[in-house]
C-alpha cells in the first residue's frame, strides 16, 4: 500500500495576496513553462500521485557534482522585495529499487541568481530532500514559507527547481537512482506592510472615483 508522509509545514499567510506563481505545477499541460536539464524525462502519466502526471530525474554517470531536473522562474527583480514571502513545495516519490545511490539526493528548492544576466548562482533554500535513506513507494509532501531578507531580495531572479544532485557515481551494473516529482507550487506573497499600502491605495482610488 502506498504510504504518504507529510513534511513539516510552516504556517502560511492565508490572507495574503500572491503576486507571482509558477505555472503548470502538476504538468497537466505537458512540460509547458518548465525548462528541463541534465538526466530528466517526462512528464509521464503515473499512478504515484493520485493520477497526476509527473517528471523523473536521475543520475547520468557524467561526473560529479552533476544536476538534473526541471526549473522555472518564480520571479525576477521587481516582482519581490525584502519582507515578501515565497510559499513553495511539491511532492516526490522513489520507486522500489531506484533509491538514490550513496550521497545522491533530490530536492525541491528555490535557487537565487545574481548578476546582470541572472546567471550567477548565489544560494538555495530547500523545502524537502529525499536520499538513500528515504523510504521507497512513499509520497513525500513538502511545503515551506521563506521570507526574503535584503540579500535574497536583491537577487536578479529566483527559480523553483526540482533537482536530482549526483555526488557519487556507482560502478557498472548499479543504478544511480531516480526520483519522481509533481504537484509543485511557488507563490510570491507581499509583506504585510505592502499589502496594507495596496489596501490604502485601493481605498483612496475608490474614494476619488466616488
pLDDT given for residue 133 in this prediction: 97
Q: Closest Cα to residue 131, out of 103, 109, 110?
A: 103
Average predicted confidence (pLDDT) for the chain: 86
Q: Assess whether pLDDT exceeds 50 at residue 10.
A: no
Query: Residue 20: which domain range?
Result: 3-209
Q: What would the DSSP string read from start to end of 142-194?
A: EEEEEE--HHHHT-SEEEEEEEEEE-----TT----EEEEEEEEEEEE--HHH
For residue 87, give every residue at least 6 positions away whose Cβ sits within 8 Å of its Cβ, in sequence order, or none.
12, 18, 143, 144, 145, 185, 186, 187, 189
* All three cell numbers of 109: 528548492
Q: 24: which strand partners? A: none
- The pairing of strands 3-6 and 138-147 is parallel
pLDDT tens digits, one per residue of 20-49: 789 999 999 999 999 999 999 999 999 999
Task: Report how many domains make up the chain.
Answer: 1
State the Cα–Cα distance between residues 87 and 121, nearest whole angstrom. Answer: 21
Q: Closest Cα to residue 31, out of 77, 71, 76, 84?
A: 71
CATH number of the domain that 30 lies in?
A: 2.60.120.260
pLDDT given for residue 78 in this prediction: 95
| 3-class DSSP state of 119 | coil
* All three cell numbers of 31: 512540460
Confidence of residue 172 (pLDDT cuts 50, 70, 90): confident
pLDDT tens digits, one per residue of 81-122: 999 999 999 999 999 999 999 999 999 999 999 999 999 999
pLDDT given for residue 192 in this prediction: 85
Q: Assess whether pLDDT exceeds 60 at residue 168.
A: yes
State the Cα–Cα distance between residues 210 and 204, nearest whole angstrom. Answer: 10
**168, 127 in Cβ contact below 8 A?**
no
State the Cα–Cα distance between residues 179 and 107, nearest whole angstrom. Answer: 9
pLDDT tens digits, one per residue of 60-75: 777 889 999 999 999 9
Amino acid at each position: 500500500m502506498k504510504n504518504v508522509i507529510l513534511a513539516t509545514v510552516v504556517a502560511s499567510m492565508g490572507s495574503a495576496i500572491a503576486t507571482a506563481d509558477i505555472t503548470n505545477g502538476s504538468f497537466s499541460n505537458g512540460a509547458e513553462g518548465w525548462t528541463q536539464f541534465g538526466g530528466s524525462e517526462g512528464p509521464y502519466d503515473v499512478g504515484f500521485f493520485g493520477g497526476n502526471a509527473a517528471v523523473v530525474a536521475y543520475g547520468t554517470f557524467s561526473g560529479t557534482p552533476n544536476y538534473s531536473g526541471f526549473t522555472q522562474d518564480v520571479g525576477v527583480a521587481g516582482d519581490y522585495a525584502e519582507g515578501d514571502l515565497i510559499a513553495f513545495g511539491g511532492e516526490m516519490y522513489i520507486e522500489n529499487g531506484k533509491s538514490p545511490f550513496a550521497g545522491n539526493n533530490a530536492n525541491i528548492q528555490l535557487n537565487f541568481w545574481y548578476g546582470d544576466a541572472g546567471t550567477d548562482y548565489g544560494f538555495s533554500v530547500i523545502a524537502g530532500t529525499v536520499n538513500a535513506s528515504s523510504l521507497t513507494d512513499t509520497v513525500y509532501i513538502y511545503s515551506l514559507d521563506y521570507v526574503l531578507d535584503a540579500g535574497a531580495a536583491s537577487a536578479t531572479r529566483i527559480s523553483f527547481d526540482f533537482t536530482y544532485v549526483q555526488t557519487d557515481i556507482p560502478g557498472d551494473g548499479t543504478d544511480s537512482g531516480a526520483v519522481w516529482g509533481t504537484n509543485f507550487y511557488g507563490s510570491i506573497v507581499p509583506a504585510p506592510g505592502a499589502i496594507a499600502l495596496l489596501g490604502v491605495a485601493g481605498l483612496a482610488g475608490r474614494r476619488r472615483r466616488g
